[in-house]
Amino acid sequence: MPGVDVTVEVCGMAGDGTIAAGGMINDAMSHGGFSVLGFDSYPAEIRGFGRCVTRSRVGDREIRALDEETHVLISLNDEESKSRVPVLTRDCVVLFDSNPPVLVEEDRSLVAILDPETRLFPMPFGDLAAAAAGTQRGRNLVALGGFAAVCGADPELFREAIRSKFKAKSQSVLQANLKSFDAGYAYALEKFHDRLLTMFASADLPKGPEKVMLSGNMAIGKAALDAGLKLYFGYPITPATPIMEYLARELPKRGGAVVQMEDEISSIGAVLGASYAGKRAMTATSGPGFALMTELITHGVMAEIPAVILNAQRGGPSTGLPTKTEQSDLHAAVFGGPGDSYRIVIAPTNVTECYYYTVKSFQLAEKYQTPVIVLTDFYLDNRVENVPMPEAREEDVRDGNIYPNVSAGEPYKRYLRTESGISPRSIPGQAGLQFTATGLEHTERGKPDYSARNHMEMSAKRFRKIQGALADLPEPEEYAPDGPLSVGVIGWGSTFGSALEAVLAARERGLRVGALKITSLYPYHEAAIRKFTSRCEEVLIPELNYSGQLISLIGRLCRKEAIPLNLATGEPFPPSLIRKKIEELAEAGAQ
Amino acid sequence: MSREHWVVIGNGPAGNAAAVTLRKFVTDARITLIGEENVPEYRCNLLPDFIAGALREEDLFCTPIQRFREMDIKLRLGQKVTDVAFERGELKLAHNEVVRFTGMIIACGSTPSIPERLGMFRDLMLPLKTLGDAKRWIEKLARVDSVFVAGGDLTSLCFTRALLALRKRVMFMLCPDSFWPIPLSSEVRRSCSARLEERGVEVLDCAKIENLTRLSEDSVEVKTDAGSLVVGAVGAFFGLVPNVRFLARTGLDLERGILVDEYLRTCVENVYAAGDCAQVYHPGIRAYWVSIGCPNATEQGRIAAMNLMGGSLSLDVPQENIFEVDGIKVNTSWWMEL
Amino acid sequence: MKTPGKVLADKVRAIGEAKIFEVRSESLPTWCPGCGYFGIHQGLNACIKELGMPLHKVVTVSGIGCAGRYPFFTRTYGLHTVHGRTLPVATGVKMANPDLTVFAVGGDGDGLAIGGGHLPHVARRNVNINYLLFDNSIYGLTKGQPSPSSPLGMTSKASPYGTLDKPLNATLMALTYGASFVARLFAGDPKGITNALVEGARHPGFSIFHIYTSCVTFDKSFKTWEHLKEWVHPLPKDHDPTDLRQAFDQVLQDDFSVGVIYKRG
């Protein structure tokens, strides 16, 4: 029987309770055992205007991405909902207010521009809310009731979600909200009794561990706590601010501190100072802040000081599009800053990986004595997925430092040229092991030195040290059958989920295609990448940037020129676009 | 300069014919076809066959929606017109939307009528006009074995055939005025009853229903002037009335339906009416008559559209004849299709 | 009048007397003979000795400039960071391990130009670090450009027609930013430096030491040793360092009084 795969949107204006409604859909469906991926769009400005849209994809199998198709639209504000019409399927279910307070002209009407196949379910949201609870404020809950009835979702799941969302409020508020929901549910059940759908009836919901709805940002925050973060220094910037705010609440409870610094430069400066002094510290920022940090990041590279920097990418360049997603800081993360300043760059592809890679980044930073940049993007940071609550493994959390084993009397060489390139480092407070860390090129003892041979050898040392991290970094993962492939898709960051979904859809149509996930962007596993690309007739690299940054980094590892698929729309990468390109390439190749 | 906007109210055969015809005449004006039901046009005369299981639901529909896109006719389904301000050229939809129009063809059809004195039993009787009605009948007939068919209009005869095909027990009551404006003569009634009895239908010798009582969800007690009986369901087949209540205070001349001349013009300029909802004046007979049946409606829709575009076609009155089914003839083309 | 060489000799002797060799690293300072930084070095080394703190529990953080080389010349832990970022880096070090004693050192370019934006915040936060601002009113390492504390009309290769901007007053800034310990000192008086440093290091909050010094190589006209010796004098005997208003008055009317100007309890 066909599975469940429904994308539901709630669209309204600021103040309509749109975001709350979307959140309750996520919670209810998650408790119902479905996989859920949700992503909201907020108004960019602070004032009360602006469109809010929540999108939730609900399914009985693993959901990896949002696509460009919406199957159900709950319109809390028709004017704003008009903007969503291009992504609605032809036979989309649309719940809308049948009794809005003002007359709407045809050219401003939502219903007027919908296709005739659209399944309309007009309900008097405001009137039902007022009748049930004495106020129109519960309109969004009335609409949820209608949604549950029309689409065949278990209303008890929603009541549970309402109870848990409003449990901190007074009983009267909770009861009013439940009444509003029930009013909508009853009305729709009766009025549309001959048109009710069963979109969520599915016998095959996989059983598994208890799941929670977690956003990328929250996963990162929890990961930092679980990894023993002591100090967070940061500066507010969209979309990284929630990490700082979460840690500001939680870190002091564990004996740590969050300091909001005066800018991003001082933030990374303090992180380096704290790491130098032996404590785990991190900062999180976005493109413009990351640019400010670049000088000090390369200082960390030269002076070999650990640091964990999270760059939550957003639309650029410059101030760019603060509330839109993009993957255009790869070059800045890998190459940014003066000189050959190689550092570790990791990019998680989903919420669970946000957790595990953030945990691991502290240990990697310590062991390889380098800034580690974790690259996420607005979409990944703000989207919610229901996942089993992640827990850190002890082996990923333990101290990664390699301490010196120097007998007294022997002068300590902080920057000893070893085979691995890792020079055991002392921490201030350790007697007899004093040294000065410096951003100038230096001898093994750490004394400034500009001679030719020294610079050559120290550059080589730093380079091989970072290359050595390949052993500890996540390897690329193939999602492909054995043998030759007509198209191989390489994805990174949040785009990988879309790429994988496209590949699986193409495979269902009989194409021999596969996907490769790369999470270690620098250093990258050349051999493993080549192994995949060597069996692909064509290599396709979709990215959310205009210029093709991953392709310029690893394109040379393909037998022939890799094919870019670049989007600079500020929106998550739709799997359907990748699938169409795969089919196009496969077809061209077949001829 | 904004485009002209021609609006057709009603998604039945009249409305569809009107819209399609309008598009033949104008290429750049907007044309919108508004229908109250949530489905595109379907052949309501085939509903009894659908109920009998001889047809699938998809076989009922007439035109793929894609055709309307190709013709650039905006199809608005599941939307109801609740008011019209003709002097301003504005109509209001149930969800508080205002649509401006240049000219209009009203083809909102008819709905099953329930005699006033039986109004209180409305919930206990099921008509058969729409696809929704048909689906309710299918659901009901899966649970009951006997049906009381009250009224006896054209639809009831086809419906009875479906019931017989489903091997249901049918009790039939012929009301004399089911065919307004055509009175059923006693001769026709007799031969009709005979035909039905031949088929195994119990034709009741009663004149009216006095009471209906719900005994359970699938059981109703019917009390007529000739006695009582218990059946699974009661069907209301008392004929159709034009569906024009929403136009009551808009200034249009209304009687039982919308009064129009032989060119299908209403009393408002650029506003025409066609199909079941129209009461057409015939200068020859100097009276208004109502048409029944799809081909009549289609023809009227076509003519209304052409006249709205500047034509001057007048309508021929169909002959006042009696129908035939299984030996009984009526000259309304609906039956000719059988 | 003492020659630069004589000044240097005096310093060397003073160093020997202070018996603080063990603080110095084996690297010879790269400063020019006669540079005021020697005096500061001497003063700070003596402070560390007097405080009795083990060298491995002291961290010296520096920025870019001649002053930036400072950590290489001591046997403490050192962190030579990028231009202007001494204070935030030092903040991170101290917050990570409050048992360490942290000295942040930098010149007037590091502290007042590129780093100027960090001073107010480290003062607001009252981080318990000790900041030595070596003010010679010039950019020495890059060979003689004006700094934010250079006088109006100063000529240099970068300002052949004389500077047009008024100089900043670091002590006044420190008071305005609410620093809880403000001292103004003279590199020609290492003892005075040591005394103030000891007091400031013991002060549980942010201590800033604005130290006048001379760049013998590039400044031949303004802050020469001759001028400084003439201009610099101690604070009035009745100066009450706990009185903020008095501190402001003092600094507004007198650019060259030295000592502990303000100290908040």
In the 8-state DSSP scheme, what is residue C165? S
3-class secondary-structure state, position A14: coil
| Alpha carbon distance A308, A233 (integer Å) | 11
Tokens of A466: 């970072």
Model confidence, pTM: 0.88
CA–CA distance, A428 with A434 (Å, rounded to integer): 7
Q: Is C53 left (phi over 0), alpha (psi -120 to 50) or beta?
A: beta
Does residue B116 share a domain with residue B182? Answer: yes
**A120 vs B78, B100, B132: nearest CB:** B78
- Taking only the tens place, the pLDDT of each residue in A407-444 is 656 789 999 999 999 999 999 999 989 999 999 999 99
- Chain A closest-CA separation from residue B135 CA (Å): 8
For residue C110, give the nearest of C79, C78, C66 by alpha carbon. C66
Residues B51 and B103 in one domain: yes
Report pLDDT for A44: 61
Nearest CA to A380 out of A546, A490, A218, A566 is that of: A218
* Nearest residue to A317 (alpha-carbon basis) of A295, A335, A341, A291: A291
Closest C-alpha among B221, B38, B55, B56 to residue B132:
B38
Q: How far apart are CA C68 and CA C64, in angstroms?
A: 5
Find all residues with CB under 8 Å of A247, minimum gap 6, and list them: A221, A224, A225, A229, A232, A256, A258
A312 contacts: CB under 8 Å, gap ≥ 6: A217, A239, A240, A243, A284, A285, A286, A376, A377, A378, A381
Using a CB–CB cutoff of 8 Å, tell me whether A262 touches chain B.
no
Residue C194 is classified by DSSP as: H
What are the structure tokens assigned to A477, written together?
A: 């993962």
Partners of A215 in beta bridges? A384
Q: How far apart are the first and last CA of chain B?
A: 49
The percent of residues above 90 in pLDDT, for chain C, comes to 75
Q: Give the model's pLDDT for residue B59.
A: 92
Considering only the beta carbons, identify the residue of C56, C80, C88 that sits closest to A261: C88
Residue B331's pLDDT is what? 41
Domain C4-263: CATH class, spelled out? alpha beta
Q: In what order do the strands lie in the sheet with B233-236?
A: B125-126, B233-236, B146-151, B169-174, B202-203
**Over 80: is that where the pLDDT of B66 sits?**
yes
Same domain, B248 and B233: no
Q: Helix, strand or coil for residue A403? A: coil
The pLDDT assigned to B333 comes to 32
Tell me: pLDDT of A188 over 90: yes
For residue C21, the one-letter residue type is F
Quick check: C72 pLDDT over 70?
A: yes
| Beta-strand pair A307-313/C77-80 | unpaired
Provide the residue range defining the domain that includes B285.
5-109+243-308
pLDDT recorded at residue B327: 45
Summarised one tens digit per residue, pLDDT across range C165-200 is: 999 999 999 999 999 999 999 999 999 999 999 999
Q: Which CATH class is domain A5-191?
A: alpha beta
What length is written for chain B? Answer: 338
Domain check: are B116 and B229 in the same one? yes
A182-192 per-residue burial string, b: 16 or more CB within 10 A, e: under 16: bbbbbbbbebb
Are the CB atoms for A309 and A280 separated by under 8 Å?
no
3-state SS class at A286: coil
Worst-scoring range by mean pLDDT, A169-173, A331-335, A523-527, B332-336? B332-336
Separation CA A180–CA A145 (nearest Å): 8
pLDDT for A6 equals 96
What's B278's DSSP letter?
Answer: E
Q: Which of A190, A194, A196, A197 to mutate to test the interface with B (most CBs of B within 10 A)?
A: A194
Question: How would you list the strands of the sheet with C233-234, edge to edge?
Answer: A436-438, C77-80, C58-62, C101-107, C130-135, C207-212, C181-186, C257-263, C233-234
B149-199 pLDDT per residue, tens: 988 777 888 899 899 999 999 998 887 666 555 566 677 777 778 888 888
Exposed e or buried b per residue across C82-109, where buried means at least 16 C-beta atoms within 10 angstroms of its C-beta: bbbbbbbbbbbbbbbbeebbbbbbbbbb
Query: Is the confidence at residue B329, as pLDDT, over 70?
Result: no
- Tell me the chain A residues in contact with residue C75 when contact means C-beta distances shorter than 8 Å: 434
| Strand, coil or helix: B307 | helix
What does the pLDDT read at residue C170? Answer: 97
What is the distance between the alpha carbons of residues A561 and B213, in angstroms, rounded to a whole number? 81
Contact of A266 with chain C, judged by CB distance below 8 Å, is answered with: yes
Distances (CA, A) of C135 to A192, C82, C174: 81, 18, 14
DSSP-assigned letter for residue B198: H
Domain-terminating residue out of B212, B240, B268:
B240
Residue B329 maps to a domain: no
3-state SS, one letter per residue, for A51-113: EEEEEEEEECCCCCCCCCCEEEEEECCHHHHHHHHHHEEEEEEEEEECCCCCCEEHHHCCHHH
Establish how many alpha carbons lie within 13 A of residue A329's alpha carbon, considering only the half-sphere containing its beta carbon: 32
Distance of alpha carbon C7 from alpha carbon C228, whole angstroms: 13
Contacts with A421 (C-beta within 8 Å, 6 or more apart), sequence order: A461, A462, A463, A464, A465, A466, A467, A468
| Chain mean pLDDT for chain B | 86
Chain C CB contacts of A275 under 8 Å are 92, 96
Q: Helix axis angle, A216-226 relative to A241-250, nearest 10°?
A: 40
* Least confident among B117-121, B246-250, C27-31, C216-220: C27-31
Residues C54, C76 contacting (CB under 8 angstroms): no
Identify which has the larger pLDDT, A198 or C1: A198
When the pLDDT of each residue in chain A is averaged and rounded to a whole number, the result is 94
Range A477-590 has CATH code 3.90.1150.10: no
What letter would DSSP give residue B183?
Answer: P
Indicate where chain A has its CATH 3.40.920.10 domain(s): 5-191
Q: Do the chains contact at A279 and C27, CB–CB below 8 Å?
A: no
Q: Scanning every residue of chain A, which has its alpha carbon at the shortest distance from the alpha carbon of C90? A: A273
Count structural domains, chain B.
2
Cα distance between residue A80 and residue A53, in whole Å: 9
d(CA C14, CA A243): 54
At residue B279, the pLDDT reads: 87
Pairing of strands C207-212, C181-186: parallel
First to last CA, chain C: 41
**Is A119 part of the contact surface with chain B (CB cutoff 8 Å)?**
yes
Alpha carbon of A191 to those of A150, B195, B309: distances in Å?
A: 10, 40, 40
Q: Which residue has the tokens 């960019």?
A: A44
Burial category of B187 from C-beta neighbours within 10 Å (exposed 0-12, middle 13-18, buried 19 and up):
exposed
Contacts of C77 in chain A (CB under 8 A): 428, 434-436
Mean pLDDT of A203-213: 80
Which of C178, C188, C194 is closest to C132 using CA atoms? C194
| ipTM of the complex in this document | 0.90
CA-to-CA separations, B305 to A250, B41, B267, B288, B292, in angstroms, rounded: 72, 18, 16, 21, 19
**Per residue in B77-92, pLDDT tens?**
999 999 999 999 999 9
| CB distance B1 to B50 below 8 Å | no
**Predicted local confidence at residue B281, as pLDDT:** 81
pLDDT tens digits for range C202-234: 999 999 999 999 999 999 888 999 999 999 999
**Which part of chain A is CATH 3.40.50.970?**
209-474
Query: Confidence band (pLDDT; 50, 70, 90) for C2?
Result: low
CATH 3.40.50.920, chain A: domain bounds: 477-590
Q: Are C118 and C112 in contact (CB under 8 A)?
A: no
- Are B229 and B125 members of one domain? yes
pLDDT tens column, C252-262: 999 999 999 99
Task: Classify burial at C185, counting beta carbons within 10 Å of its beta carbon; exposed 0-12, middle 13-18, buried 19 or more.
Answer: buried
**Quick one: average pLDDT of A515-542?**
97
User: What is the torsional sign of CA C27, C28, C31, C35?
Assistant: positive
Chains that touch A (3 or more CB pairs under 8 A): B, C
CA nearest B112: which of B84, B70, B81, B151? B151
Of A98, A106, A122, the CB nearest to B99: A106
- CB neighbours (10 Å) of residue B24? 12
A134-151 pLDDT, tens digit each: 989 899 999 999 999 999
DSSP reduced 3-state for B126: strand
Q: What is the CATH number of domain A209-474?
A: 3.40.50.970
A269 touching C, CB under 8 A? yes
Task: Give the CATH number for residue B124.
Answer: 3.50.50.60
List residues of chain C with CB under 8 Å from any CB of chain A. Answer: 27, 54-57, 59-61, 69, 71-72, 75-82, 85, 87-97, 99-100, 117-118, 120-121, 125
Whether B170 and B184 share a structural domain: yes
For residues B137 and B202, state if they share a domain: yes
B277/B185 same-domain check: no
Contact status, residue C166 vs residue C110, Cβ threshold 8 Å: no
The predicted-structure confidence for A13-56, as pLDDT tens digits, reads as follows 988 999 999 999 999 999 999 999 999 987 666 555 788 999 99
Q: Does residue B146 lie within any of the structural domains?
A: yes
Number of Cβ within a 10 Å radius of residue A225: 19
Q: How long a stretch of residues is chain A?
A: 591
Cα dist. B99→A104, A241, B14, B68 in Å?
9, 46, 21, 20
Number of other CB atoms surrounding residue A374 within 10 Å:
26
Q: Do A104 and B135 touch (CB under 8 A)?
A: no
Using one digit for the tens of pLDDT, what is the confidence trace for B219-245? 999 998 888 999 999 999 888 888 999
Chains C vs A: touching, with 3+ CB pairs under 8 Å?
A: yes
String of b and e for A57-69 (b: at least 16 CB within 10 Å)?
Answer: bbbbeebbbbbbb
SS3 string, B35-62, reads: CCCCCCCECHHHHHHHHCCCCCHHHHEC
Average pLDDT over residues A65-90: 95
C153 to chain A, minimum CA–CA distance in Å? 33
CA distance C254 to C245: 14
